[in-house]
Structure 1
Amino acid sequence: MNNYADHSDAELVQRMRAGDHAAFTEIYRRYWKRLYALAYHRLHNREQAEDVVQDVLTGLWQRREADLVRSLGAYLATAARYAVFTHLSRRQPLAGMDTVPEAMQATKDETAQLRFLQQSMEEELQLLPEKCRLVFNYSRQEGLSNKEIARHLDISEKSVEKHITKALQRLRLQFRNYLHGFF
């Protein structure tokens, strides 16, 4: 029997692309609560948040054969934010209301901030030493475990941990003021 809980996100995505229902079920189990919390935080409505999560995960399964997912967690979080935005935009405006609802404006602002932050982070990551950058990308972009990275690069797991720590420290240092204001 295959224990999908032990698989990395990247492995689950690969299996899901091949039509493996059990891999999708593990993704669902792994991410449902996080996506629900994200949606509920914006919508403040349990049923609407559940609908958003269901839409996101259903969409993931329906588009499983497309090569869209690089980092499963980031992909699902972005899809959930977009689904919340779409949900909010479908709400009927109040009579005489000509402006965009405040909740939608915040979402647009956050989207612009996230794009800027992502671009800045990518630029900052390019300044890391090659092996450090490679380890960080395997960890955060590909979703590989430390053990998988160590095996793939033929280095110790401790080295993997040190490289990830170094990259995260650098990012925290460079973005400490921006992230404090953002959150």
Structure 2
Amino acid sequence: MILVFSVGLGWFPSLANVDVDMGLGERLYLTFLPAMTLTLIVLAYMMRMTRAAILNLLALPYIEMAHLKGIKRCRVIAVHALPNALAPIINVIALNLAYLIVGVVLVEVVFVYPGLGQVLVDAVSNRDVTVVQAACLIFAATYILLNLLADILSIVANPRLLHPR
């Protein structure tokens, strides 16, 4: 993305510092490339998993009955299929968010943005074990909390997951 959008087209800066006194528009402009890098990494996977979850449900008898009743396809998907597909979709989103939080290390190093990822890389190069441990602990705690949140939201979205079969 740096090669195409910064060097080739000249639309965005390849390196930029975001200050506290900058406006929102300027901050969004300067952080567009790193944000798009992180977004494009997981967007296709999330869309594919969502599509797979919906397609699995569209083959079930109650969806076929809704079609036979004459309900429009978009309403069948939104009202009948999507609520039952939310549990796997929520899990995929939570795992991808965890991946993004850990993957921000690479993006911060490539785009030279100050953050926890840059601190982690600097601590590794300086052999500062306590800072490396603290950064890894923050990443691990975030991962665990996102998985816990995904499990709670999955149960809220589909209460049948609470009861074993």
TM-score (norm 1): 0.33
Q: Rg larger in 1 or in 2?
A: 2
With CA pairs under 8 Å and 6+ residues apart, which has the higher RCO, 1 or 2?
Answer: 2
TM-score (norm 2): 0.35
